[in-house]
Amino acid sequence: MVSTNDELKLIDFGLSKRQQGNKKLKTIAGTPYYMAPEVLDGHYDSKCDCWSLGVLLYVFMSGYLPFQGNNRNDVFYKIKKAAYHFNHAEFKTCSKSVIDLIEKLLVVDPGKRLSAGQALKHEWFKILDEKSSTAPATINITP
């Protein structure tokens, strides 16, 4: 059971790189289950991080990875087709707004995918903010 005092830590930013302007990145690196389709093609920008956040949100809500397979090629095929579902029992208790946010982050075409700024303005965050009686979450980046 999660309490309001629990901490969530995202780690392993060893492969991260700061994007320079509009220059596309080309290195195919990262954890396969979280890679955006355009990363697999070797031509991507910061929108790939929004895909990965969609994967994380899916996992946080259900406990399952959205893209699974018998091998890496199966996983990559499902990622490129955005072949995921909300059939897990855990999604029956999730709000429609969080499912909508996941759907808008796991969009194959990065031009149609929400940006980080758009995601933060999504209804789900507004609802969370209204329900929250605690201070906003803080981000602690430890080198």
CATH of the domain at 59: 1.10.510.10
Contact present, 102 and 58 (Cβ < 8 Å) = yes
Interacting residues of 4 by C-beta distance below 8 A, sequence separation 6+: 134
Domain count, the chain: 1
Tell me, yes or no, whether 82 lies in a domain: yes
Tell me, yes or no, whether 27 lies in a domain: no
Tell me, yes or no, whether 40 lies in a domain: yes
Residues 32-89: pLDDT tens digits? 899 999 999 988 888 999 999 999 999 999 999 999 999 999 999 999 999 999 999 9
Mean pLDDT of the chain: 83
Is 142's pLDDT higher than 60? Answer: no
Tell me, yes or no, whether 15 lies in a domain: no
Q: What whole-number distance in Å separates Cα of residue 95 and Cα of residue 122?
A: 13
Domain that holds residue 96: 32-131
Residues 58-70: pLDDT tens digits? 999 999 999 999 9
Q: What whole-number distance in Å separates Cα of residue 76 and Cα of residue 53?
A: 17
Is 14's pLDDT higher than 60? Answer: no
Tell me, yes or no, whether 139 lies in a domain: no
Contact present, 141 and 97 (Cβ < 8 Å) = no
Tell me, yes or no, whether 60 lies in a domain: yes
In the chain, the percentage of residues whose pLDDT exceeds 70 is 70
Q: What is the pLDDT, as a whole number, of residue 116?
A: 92
Q: What is the pLDDT, as a whole number, of residue 127?
A: 80
